[in-house]
Amino acid sequence: MKKHIAHLLLLLLTTFLATQFTSAVDFLLNGFDSSDVSLYGNATIESRILTLTNDTTFSIGRALYPSRIRTKQPNTSVVLPFSTSFIFAMAPYEGRLPGHGIVFLFVPHVGIQGSSSAQHLGLFNFTNNGNSSNHVFGVEFDVFKNEEFRDINDNHVGIDVNSLISLNASEAGYWPDGENSFKKLTLNNGKNYQVWIDFADNIVNVTMAPVGMKRPRQPLLSFPLNLSEVLEDEMYVGFTAATGALIESHKILAWSFSNTNFSHSDSLITRGLPSFELPKTPIHKTKGFIAGFTVGLLVFVTVCSVAVFLLIRMNRRIRRQRDEMEDWELEYWPHRMTYQEIELATKNFSEENVIGIGGNGKVYKGILPGGSAVAVKRISHEKNEGIRAFLAEISSLGRLKHRNLVGLRGWCKKEKGSLILVYDYMENESLDKRVFECDESKMASYEDRIRILKQVASGILYLHYGWEAKVLHRDIKSSNVLLDRDMNARLGDFGLARMHDHDKVAGTTRVVGTVGYLAPEVVRSGRSSTQTDVFGYGVLILEVICGRRPIEEGKPTLVEWVWELLRRGELLYAVDTRLRARGGLNEEEVERVLQLGLLCAHPDPNARPTMRQVVKLFEGKIEVDEPEEGEDMEIYLLEKMKTKEIWSMYPQIFNSGSSSSHPTFEEIRKGLFGTMSHSWSDTTVEGR
Ligand SMILES: *[C@@H]1O[C@H](CO)[C@@H](O)[C@H](O)[C@H]1NC(C)=O
Ligand SMILES: *[C@@H]1O[C@H](CO)[C@@H](O)[C@H](O)[C@H]1NC(C)=O
Ligand SMILES: *[C@@H]1O[C@H](CO)[C@@H](O)[C@H](O)[C@H]1NC(C)=O
Ligand SMILES: *[C@@H]1O[C@H](CO)[C@@H](O)[C@H](O)[C@H]1NC(C)=O
Ligand SMILES: *[C@@H]1O[C@H](CO)[C@@H](O)[C@H](O)[C@H]1NC(C)=O
Ligand SMILES: *[C@@H]1O[C@H](CO)[C@@H](O)[C@H](O)[C@H]1NC(C)=O
Ligand SMILES: *[C@@H]1O[C@H](CO)[C@@H](O)[C@H](O)[C@H]1NC(C)=O
Ligand SMILES: *[C@@H]1O[C@H](CO)[C@@H](O)[C@H](O)[C@H]1NC(C)=O
Ligand SMILES: *[C@@H]1O[C@H](CO)[C@@H](O)[C@H](O)[C@H]1NC(C)=O
């Protein structure tokens, strides 16, 4: 009997040990070989560095530890503790805007199915984001602020469970030991950072620091989390990353993971790692200085004084250059204000005067000595990108005057600190607040929305044709349309605008704009034109009439959705339900406006109307069927609609059924523009 019990105990012990053994995972990778991880999508290993994405737009890369790992104590829902650490870098490409981020993740399956690029980070897609059957736990290092995922900023670390809406997030950075101040880290500057992620007792801790630094004691994120429902019993673990039209390359240099030995994370080799920072422009160096040391005291002093003399001269020259620059600025740009004036107006930039936080910095309300209200935009000097954007903003907006553009009052450049722009104050905030974030009483009525769209069109028309140089806005969206006291629309935020001569082909290698409003050709080639503004305007029309953001989780894009409704003959369902509830819609007009939106957001730039044509159409011609002289609108649109591309651009919609179920072009054209006819002759340019 005793023997039996001893035997049983032994058996239990061995099974216990066996399960303990199989659930133990323990690895330390100081550099990668192809056998260390399995690669999916665009992930590659070169020189022992794991690169998740390459410089193709909309690339996804994923790397997973080759075998599943056990995540729970056998036959229980108790999640095993784990500790992982890795070193990553987000390498910027010269002259391109930052893209999207890296995610450390647990997934139930291999491969990249079910994930999209860009803002979905190669983690989820439109339909499965937020679905609890994903069984995904991730820690994101994201450099894009996505409003639909409620991202806190464009440089954050977040804890994600089955969704890109982070459960908890923080600005990237660390709390240095023994200090009470937070140190911000910029994720995508090419620098190498070490991350530690620990899970135990239903708490997940995330810590990061510049590579080489001892792990700070206080974690960046410390968040209570019960993973027992999230993780399956066995999971794959690894990294995923994605790019959009905005690109950088995502690299992992070393990685350790363990659920038994928690001291691995201190064994990552942090020295001698390559750097992915862009080379800085070299700073002037003073030569012939060191020679002085080897010679006698007299010579030393002489050399010193010569050097000092030279330095002072050089300094003076630099300062003179700066002054010259500012003289030139004064010649062209509007009134320069003193910092004191602006300080006084905004009560010393007090927090209570903050009326908004833009992509470039905070916006304050201010009162000038005369009593007129202004909006003061302030940008700090540390980001070169922002400065350049603002200089462009001054130089274009400052000289442009139109009743549908936000007027620039003045500006101020502080020697050290910040660049400040002073605009006319817009009493009624931005259009998106009147469409999306408001109660019934504040919501823009249908008539308001149509009038606002007309006014925006005339503002864009002025930008495109009203000035001696063609000005592209490049970032037309509802949050950039501001409303003045009389609810008149004024297009603002020319931070992304660049001047173009009428004759020159507008071109750029950098993609600027906002995801969801970017024309397909911008995403493909990075080139902007007046027709890409027309695309943005088309999306704006749809957004304002439908009361839906261009991109929303779990849904097709706005443009695709409206096309689909048009195809099914249910266009009116697209209209904002709150507007429909109010009733009194002019259905025919609504349909035409939506059709105009779709035409403007046509994938083929040549098929889009020009702003001239749009404004003409709005000048009373949308509601009235009044044939005019000149080219017939039907013929014009028939020509435009003949571009077959539209079918291939939206394959999900148009290639889904059998071809016989597709409406013919004739049907689409009839459906789109009915009997409306119109002359496309040029309009006169609106006043300055
Ligand atoms: C990107 O990665 C893929 C591998 O998925 C490769 O075929 C392609 O050539 C790479 N492109 C560039 C531009 O490096
Ligand atoms: C990988 O890169 C190629 C181009 O180099 C691209 O065509 C392909 O879609 C990319 N694959 C993924 C999964 O991102
Ligand atoms: C866990 O459950 C499986 C079947 O459900 C069983 O075969 C195994 O012996 C159990 N293991 C332990 C340690 O209880
Ligand atoms: C998203 O991924 C799921 C699989 O997880 C797939 O069934 C679905 O079709 C995908 N949706 C899109 C829009 O790609
Ligand atoms: C979540 O995904 C599962 C499986 O893909 C699907 O059956 C279910 O309908 C989805 N749930 C939601 C709310 O989308
Ligand atoms: C993150 O979680 C901590 C602790 O639970 C909490 O104090 C903090 O407000 C959270 N932050 C966000 C952005 O959710
Ligand atoms: C997480 O951080 C907190 C606060 O520093 C600490 O008390 C806790 O032990 C940590 N947990 C893990 C799993 O590292
Ligand atoms: C975690 O969730 C599981 C399942 O919902 C539950 O059984 C367990 O008690 C939870 N653990 C804690 C510590 O709350
Ligand atoms: C734990 O890991 C450290 C560093 O990798 C190693 O030196 C140590 O021997 C390991 N301990 C055990 C018990 O495996």
- The answer to whether 559 and 550 are in contact (CB under 8 A) is yes
**377 labeled binding residue:** yes
What span, in angstroms and rounded, lies between the C-alpha atoms of 375 and 364?
Answer: 6
The pLDDT value recorded for residue 637 is: 41
Domain range holding 96? 25-267
Task: Indicate which atom in ligand 7 lies nearest the CA of residue 81.
Answer: 13
**190 lies in the same domain as 258:** yes
346: domain CATH number is 3.30.200.20
Residue of 202, 223, 225 best suited for mutating to test ligand 6, as the one with most atoms within 8 Å of CB: 223
Coil, strand, or helix at residue 395?
A: helix
The pLDDT value recorded for residue 415 is: 54
Give the residue-averaged pLDDT of 443-459: 93
Domain boundary among 239, 267, 295: 267
pLDDT over 80 (residue 91): yes
**347 lies in the same domain as 437:** no
Write the Ramachandran bin of 298: left for phi over 0, alpha for psi from -120 to 50, otherwise beta.
alpha
The pLDDT value recorded for residue 279 is: 75
Give the residue-averaged pLDDT of 546-573: 83
Q: Which position has the higher pLDDT, 99 or 509?
A: 99
Atom 5 of ligand 9 has which residue's CA nearest to it?
264
Place of tokens 């002072």: 312
- From the CA of 122, the nearest ligand is 2
Question: Which residues have C-beta within 8 Å of that of residue 635, sequence separation ≥ 6?
Answer: none
Residue 7 falls within a domain, yes or no? no
Task: Please state, in angstroms and as integers, the Cα–Cα distance from residue 629 to each residue in 618, 619, 684, following that order.
Answer: 17, 16, 17
Q: How far is the CA of 686 from the centre of ligand 2 (A)?
A: 46
Residue 537 falls within a domain, yes or no? yes
**496 lies in the same domain as 348:** no
Give the residue-averaged pLDDT of 640-654: 38
**509 lies in the same domain as 409:** no
Residue 602 falls within a domain, yes or no? yes
Annotated catalytic residue 201: no
Choose the weakest-confidence range: 114-128, 408-422, 520-534, 619-633.
Answer: 619-633
Residue 292 falls within a domain, yes or no? no
pLDDT over 90 (residue 182): yes
Q: How far is the CA of 54 from the centre of ligand 1 (A)?
A: 6
Q: What is the pLDDT of residues 326-363, one digit of tens each?
A: 433 443 445 667 788 888 888 888 888 888 776 566 88
Q: How far is the CA of 168 from the centre of ligand 6 (A)?
A: 6
Instruction: Provide the number of structural domains found in the chain.
Output: 3
- The answer to whether 102 and 255 are in contact (CB under 8 A) is no
Give the residue-averaged pLDDT of 513-525: 80
**402 lies in the same domain as 466:** no
What span, in angstroms and rounded, lies between the C-alpha atoms of 627 and 648?
Answer: 33
Q: What is the pLDDT of residues 481-494, one digit of tens each?
A: 999 998 999 998 76
Domain boundary among 424, 457, 485: 424
The pLDDT value recorded for residue 88 is: 97
CB under 8 Å, gap of 24 or more: what pairs does 432-438 form?
A: 432/477, 432/478, 432/479, 432/481, 434/483, 435/478, 435/543, 435/544, 435/547, 435/576, 436/478, 436/547, 436/549
pLDDT over 60 (residue 558): yes
Give the residue-averaged pLDDT of 138-155: 86
Q: How confident is the model at residue 669 (pLDDT cuts 50, 70, 90)?
A: very low
Decide whether any atom of ligand 6 lies within 6 Å of the 204 Cβ: no
597: domain CATH number is 1.10.510.10
The pLDDT value recorded for residue 583 is: 79
Residue 19 falls within a domain, yes or no? no
Largest Cα–Cα distance of the chain, in whole Å? 109
Q: What is the pLDDT of residues 27-55, one digit of tens each?
A: 999 999 999 999 999 999 998 999 999 87
Atom 5 of ligand 5 has which residue's CA nearest to it?
133
Task: Please state, in angstroms and as integers, the Cα–Cα distance from residue 335 to each residue in 329, 394, 421, following that order.
Answer: 10, 11, 10
Q: How confident is the model at residue 200 (pLDDT cuts 50, 70, 90)?
A: very high
Atom 14 of ligand 6 has which residue's CA nearest to it?
168
Q: How far is the CA of 42 from the centre of ligand 1 (A)?
A: 6
Ligand 9 binding site (Cβ under 6 Å of any ligand atom)? 28, 261, 263-264, 267
What does the H/E/C string look like for 500-546?
Answer: EECCCCCCCCCCCCCCCCCCHHHHHHCCCCHHHHHHHHHHHHHHHHH
What's the one-letter identity of residue 41?
G
Q: What is the pLDDT of residues 525-549, one digit of tens each?
A: 777 889 999 999 999 999 999 999 9
What span, in angstroms and rounded, lies between the C-alpha atoms of 686 and 679?
Answer: 19
The pLDDT value recorded for residue 306 is: 60
| Bridge partners of residue 38, in order along the sequence | 64
Residue 281 falls within a domain, yes or no? no
Q: Which position has the higher pLDDT, 637 or 336?
A: 336
Give the residue-averaged pLDDT of 135-146: 91
Q: Which position has the higher pLDDT, 640 or 234?
A: 234
- The answer to whether 252 and 64 are in contact (CB under 8 A) is no
Alpha helices in 380-502 (DSSP H): 384-397, 431-435, 446-465
Place of tokens 């140190």: 183
What span, in angstroms and rounded, lies between the C-alpha atoms of 114 and 575?
Answer: 30
Choose the weakest-confidence range: 67-76, 410-419, 610-619.
Answer: 410-419
**84 lies in the same domain as 193:** yes
Kindly provide the residue ranges of all beta strands, DSSP E only, lying in 270-361, ordered along the sequence.
354-357
- The answer to whether 291 and 276 are in contact (CB under 8 A) is no
Q: What is the pLDDT of residues 216-273, one digit of tens each?
A: 999 999 999 999 999 999 999 999 999 875 678 899 999 999 988 777 777 888 888 8
What span, in angstroms and rounded, lies between the C-alpha atoms of 141 and 606?
Answer: 39
Residue 612 falls within a domain, yes or no? yes
Residue 306 falls within a domain, yes or no? no
pLDDT over 70 (residue 591): yes
156: domain CATH number is 2.60.120.200
pLDDT over 60 (residue 303): no
Give the residue-averaged pLDDT of 650-662: 35
Give the residue-averaged pLDDT of 99-122: 89
Q: Which position has the higher pLDDT, 447 or 648?
A: 447
The pLDDT value recorded for residue 673 is: 41
**446 lies in the same domain as 586:** yes
Give the residue-averaged pLDDT of 598-627: 74
Give the residue-averaged pLDDT of 268-288: 66
**354 lies in the same domain as 500:** no
Q: How confident is the model at residue 283 (pLDDT cuts 50, 70, 90)?
A: very low
**596 lies in the same domain as 467:** yes
Q: What is the pTM of this model?
A: 0.54
Task: Please state, in angstroms and as integers, the Cα–Cα distance from residue 533 to each residue in 56, 250, 325, 466, 633, following that order.
Answer: 24, 31, 32, 15, 22
pLDDT over 80 (residue 648): no
The mean of the pLDDT values for the chain is 76
Q: What percent of the chain has pLDDT over 70?
A: 69
Residue of 201, 228, 230 best suited for mutating to test ligand 8, as the one with most atoms within 8 Å of CB: 228
**406 lies in the same domain as 459:** no
Q: How confident is the model at residue 308 (pLDDT cuts 50, 70, 90)?
A: low
Choose the weakest-confidence range: 16-20, 156-160, 499-503.
Answer: 499-503
**What element of type H or E holds 575?**
none
Domain boundary among 387, 403, 424: 424
The pLDDT value recorded for residue 618 is: 79
Cα-Cα-Cα-Cα dihedral sign, residues 283, 286, 291, 294: negative
- The answer to whether 25 and 212 are in contact (CB under 8 A) is no
**69 lies in the same domain as 149:** yes
**480 lies in the same domain as 409:** no
